Amino acid sequence: MKDYFFIFRHYFICMKGFVLVMGCLIVLCSCTPEFVPQSLIEIDEDALIQPTLAPDGRTGEVEASFLSSQHSFTVTNSMIPSDTVFRVSYVTTSKNFDVFKWVFEGGTTRVGSTTTVSGTTTVEGNINDPSTNAQIAVLVEYDSIFGGYDMKHAVANSTNIDIISIEDYVTFEYQDDLKMKSSATPWGWENPQDGWSDPSGNTTVTFSPCENAMVGYYTANGAGEDEVSRISKEFANFGFTPKNLVFEYKMDFLVLPNNPDNNVKIALGYTPLVSGSSSITIEPGELWSDASYDATAFRQVVVPLPIIPSFRLSFDKHPSVLNSAGQQRYPFSVCIKNLRIIPGNQ
């Protein structure tokens, strides 16, 4: 009987030691990050960035994030200088990564980049490499100016990747100041018949409904009752990207019509400015017009513009039909405000 007791006691001590050893091993293994062999990692060959698969690299979840300076720009000068450059600074705030990559559409950098024929710049580096780790912060210059430009930021460690992709992150648009041309504002709208006024001239009670708008009066100082009153402006270096003209307009009738007609009331003209055309007189082609009488409240219009960098826009305010005395039967004024040129995909 004693022999049985001795054997059982010896067996119990051995099992207790075995459990203690296994418990220590479990604790030790749980505290050590597991490196996943290359054969067990799913890799997308088409991804912007790949896991490094480095045995001594970081492992686990990785998160891509960044900060930037101002990235939406508005210009008010219709004659954009050809050497205009806007700059945007970027810095990564990503977590648990070893390598990184920046991709900037339409932008260029001074160091550590390669630019493709399509105008896209790529910057990449490793935070453990002194020759590239400073590029976690990068200054990008945009000299194409008008349009919207995508950006991407990707990071990776030994086992994981993360990618941020933002369409039209950097945008440039034109906001018209609605001023008539003068010695003080040489960039303004040409107003040869003196039939239009900018917002600063519309403070009277008569034109209070057209506040903050430029107004084409029902009759022009330098034109007859039956003549068109035109304003025009030149636009330069707006690039070859698609673009839209956006504005709001309405008509303010002095006498409400009781017998409407189909005559054009307001029209938008477009003249391309191409090399060699400066000595030739080209009448503007019509991009848009309105012949109705119901635009008595502001409404927005979006007009696609041809893909030409330099052009001239004009607004023609047409007279009302005339009565037997040669005067306008339904005199009206036209109000235009919030005029912009924006990228065509917005």
Q: Could you give the CA distance from residue 162 to residue 135 in angstroms, rounded to a whole number?
A: 18
Is the pLDDT at 216 greater than 70? The verdict is yes
Residue 10, by phi and psi: left (phi above 0), alpha (psi -120 to 50) or beta? alpha
What pLDDT does residue 35 have?
Answer: 46
In a domain, 294, yes or no: yes
Give the model confidence (pLDDT) of 308-323 as tens digits: 999 999 999 998 888 8
Contacts of 225 (CB under 8 A, 6+ apart): 219, 319, 322, 326, 327, 328
Flag whether pLDDT at 43 surpasses 90.
no
What is the distance between the alpha carbons of residues 246 and 337, in angstroms, rounded to a whole number? 10
Distance of CA 109 to the CA centre of its chain: 20
We report the CATH number of the domain holding residue 285 as: 2.60.120.200
Asked if 169 and 251 sit in the same domain, the reply is: no
Give the contacts of 17 (CB within 8 A, at least 6 positions apart): none
Taken in order 261, 262, 263, 265, is the CA torsion positive or negative?
positive
For residue 128, report the phi and psi dihedrals to the nearest 5 degrees. Answer: -95, 0
Size of the chain in residues: 346
Among residues 216, 221, 243, 217, the alpha carbon closest in space to that of 336 is found at 216
Sign of CA dihedral 113, 117, 120, 122: negative
Please provide the DSSP assignment of 9-59 as one string.
Answer: HHHHHHHHHHHHHHHHHHHHHHHSPPPPPGGGS---TTSSS-----TTS--
- The answer as to whether 187 is a domain residue is yes
Same domain, 61 and 194: no
SS3 134: helix
Which residue in 215, 217, 219, 229 sits closest to 316, CA to CA? 229
* Residue 287 in this model has a pLDDT that exceeds 80: yes
Rounded to whole angstroms, the Cα distance separating 344 from 335 reads 24
Do residues 244 and 323 make contact, with C-beta atoms less than 8 angstroms apart?
A: no
User: Residue 160 sits in a domain of what CATH number?
Assistant: 2.60.40.10
Specify whether 169 is located in the same domain as 281: no
Contact yes or no for 335/298 (Cβ under 8 A)? yes
DSSP characters for 262-312?
----EEEEEEE--TT-TTS--PPEEEEEE--S---S-EEEEEEEPS-SSEE
Above pLDDT 70, what percent of the chain? 81
333 in the same domain as 278: yes
216 and 185 fall within a common domain: yes
Is 265 in the same domain as 117? no
Are residues 41 and 159 in contact, defined by beta-carbon separation less than 8 angstroms? yes
Q: Is there a domain that residue 335 lies in?
A: yes
Its domain, for residue 152, covers 38-173
Q: Judge whether 92 and 100 are in contact, CB under 8 Å.
A: yes
**How many structural domains are present in the chain?**
2
12 within a domain of the structure (yes/no): no
Same domain, residue pair 46 and 140: yes
Residues 307 and 62: their CA atoms lie apart, in Å, by 42
Q: What is the mean pLDDT of residues 226-247?
A: 92
Q: Are 317 and 195 in contact (CB under 8 A)?
A: yes
pLDDT digits (tens, 9 = 90+) for 51-101: 999 999 999 999 999 999 999 999 999 998 888 899 999 999 999 999 999
pLDDT given for residue 45 in this prediction: 65
Q: Which residues pair with 200 in a beta bridge?
A: none
Question: Last residue of some domain: 124, 148, 173?
Answer: 173
219 in a structural domain: yes
Q: Positive or negative CA dihedral for 77, 79, 84, 89?
A: positive
Pair (324, 302) in one structural domain:
yes
Where does the pLDDT of residue 6 fall: very low under 50, low under 70, confident under 90, or very high at 90 and above?
very low
pLDDT of residue 227: 87
Asked whether residue 189 falls in the same domain as residue 298, the answer is yes
Domain C-terminal end among 153, 173, 193: 173
Percent of the chain clearing pLDDT 90 (strictly above): 54
User: Are both 187 and 138 inside the same structural domain?
Assistant: no
Mark whether 278 and 239 lie in a shared domain. yes
How many helices and strands in the chain, by DSSP H and E?
Answer: 1, 19
Domain contains 255: yes
Q: How far apart are CA 103 and CA 150, in angstroms?
A: 8
* Residues 53 and 114 placed together within one structural domain of the fold: yes
Q: Is residue 242 part of a domain?
A: yes
Which of 334, 254, 323 minimizes the C-alpha distance to 291? 334
Judge contact between 196 and 202, C-beta under 8 A.
Answer: no
Last residue of a domain, one of 116, 143, 173: 173
Residue 342's region, left for phi above 0, alpha for psi from -120 to 50, else beta, is beta
Amino acid at 183: S
